[in-house]
Structure 1
């Protein structure tokens, strides 16, 4: 069974972690402010490569961002690449940096 959980401290810094059969297999390092959900890094255990876990994590953070009326700042190379590859899926939440089209 796969489960994704937010694991945040009192300042809303931490991660969204993916567990398979209660074993942590991946995570996205994030922070949340009143208006912005920032993703810094995505990591998936090598043993889980090719299982689509990064995509599942991305789907979960996008869902969270929309549900909480936030904008998402994709500083993580994986998330940024997905946003650039599929802008039509994320244009409503994508907080672009200066110079980004």
Structure 2
């Protein structure tokens, strides 16, 4: 299923609004870098692949905006490890393990 990605710059988070609840990835953005710090999916949405879909959409947006990624969130790092094509966005010298 396709969800609409919202970059809520005021709250400094990417969002999906699903079934009246909020799934999000919090971030810190500098001029050309973005630090993904925390992924959160409400309990009632767990197990539906929403977190993975959210990470994928966020990575596409980061690529489109030509930002360098610093994945501080363990879930985001694990996603990139499972999908190594996205390592191209990660700041050189950061080890995803």
TM-score bracket for this pair, using the shorter chain length: 0.7 to 0.9
Task: Give the alignment's TM-score, normalised by structure 1.
Answer: 0.81
Task: Give the alignment's TM-score, normalised by structure 2.
Answer: 0.84
Query: Where do 1:19-58 residues align within 5 Å?
Result: 19-21=17-19, 23-58=20-55
In the TM superposition, what whole-angstrom CA distance separates every residue of 1:11-63 from its partner, at most 9, and x where no partner exists? xx610011114x23310001221211110000000000111111111111111
Cα distance in structure 2, aligned partners of 1:19 and 1:28 = 12
Moved more, 35-44 or 76-85: 76-85
Query: Where do 1:1-101 residues align within 5 Å?
Result: 2-9=3-10, 14-21=12-19, 23-87=20-84, 89-96=85-92, 100=95
Cα distance in structure 2, aligned partners of 1:96 and 1:57 = 23
CA contact (8 A) 2:52 2:79 kept: no
- Taking only aligned residues, the RMSD between alpha carbons, in angstroms, comes to 2.0
Normalized per residue, the structure richer in strand is 1
Q: Secondary structure at the match of 1:3?
A: coil
> Runs of at least 4 residues of structure 1 off by over 6 A?
none
For these two proteins, the number of residue pairs brought into alignment is: 95
List alignment gaps of at least 5 residues for structure 2.
none
List alignment gaps of at least 5 residues for structure 1.
none
1:75 CA displacement = 0.1
1:3 CA displacement = 2.4
